[in-house]
A and B are shown apart, each in its own frame.
Chain A
Amino acid sequence: QKEVEQNSGPLSVPEGAIASLNCTYSDRGSQSFFWYRQYSGKSPELIMSIYSNGDKEDGRFTAQLNKASQYVSLLIRDSQPSDSATYLCAVNIKGYGNKLVFGAGTILRVKS
């Protein structure tokens, strides 16, 4: 079992719709959770971080964390073609500094 699992996709949504990306993790020592976006041929960039159970909103993005279910999600509202990218879920385990364990990523395609 992989430590961080994501559906590889591609997830296709029409422009203006809500895109829902999901991630599960196996290590209960995980303390911090991140979503990185990676455009084709580019390096990952941080878009959201979440540290406690519940929702965290930033513009069109909402991250959701449920530690009991070991589940993290990212909602993108009003999806735009420019949101088309690979979304990487990453988990930081307590005591391991900035070592992040990344999922394989979900490819999102927003169709105009």
Chain B
Amino acid sequence: KAGVTQTPRYLIKTRGQQVTLSCSPISGHRSVSWYQQTPGQGLQFLFEYFSETQRNKGNFPGRFSGRQFSNSRSEMNVSTLELGDSALYLCASSLWINTGELFFGEGSRLTVL
């Protein structure tokens, strides 16, 4: 059974640009969550999608957005990039909502210059 797939794995952007990250969940999993991981702040919740609807949102500015498609694949977008957005962005899938049992992808490492 294939795991969670995230693309791209690494990317470098400059301030002011925007970026789109993609996530394909484990087959059959309907919930997709996104987390940001940095050395200073650790793992922080961005948002969760289930059945194409955003179910929960973390404390991030509106520059961070996401969506989920009918096949459960998800994308997140960060607009007007700032240096502080440099981080590992992790996608996690779960069979259902409210399980807390997350399966993480390998992440997308974003560097903002």
Contact = CB atoms under 8 A, between A and B. Distances in A.
A joins B in a complex: yes
Interface of A: 32, 34, 36, 42-46, 49, 88, 90, 92, 96-105
Contacts of B104: 43-45
B110 interface: no
Contacts of A98: 31, 33, 48, 55-56, 92, 94, 97-100, 102
Interface residues of B, number: 25
Given A43-B104, A98-B55, 13 more contacts: A32-B100, A43-B105, A44-B43, A44-B90, A49-B101, A96-B56, A97-B56, A98-B97, A99-B33, A99-B48, A99-B58, A101-B45, A102-B43
A72 B78 CA distance: 35
A46 B100 CA distance: 10
Given A43-B90, A49-B100, A97 B42 contact: no
B42 A104 contact: yes
B98 A97 contact: yes
Contacts of A99: 33, 45, 48, 56, 58
Contacts of A32: 100
B106 interface: yes
A71 to B, nearest CB: 18
B25 to A, nearest CB: 12
Task: Kindly name the residue among B50, B90, B102 whose own CB sees the greatest number of chain A CB atoms within 10 A.
Answer: B102
A36 B42 CA distance: 13
A49 B106 CA distance: 21
B64 interface: no
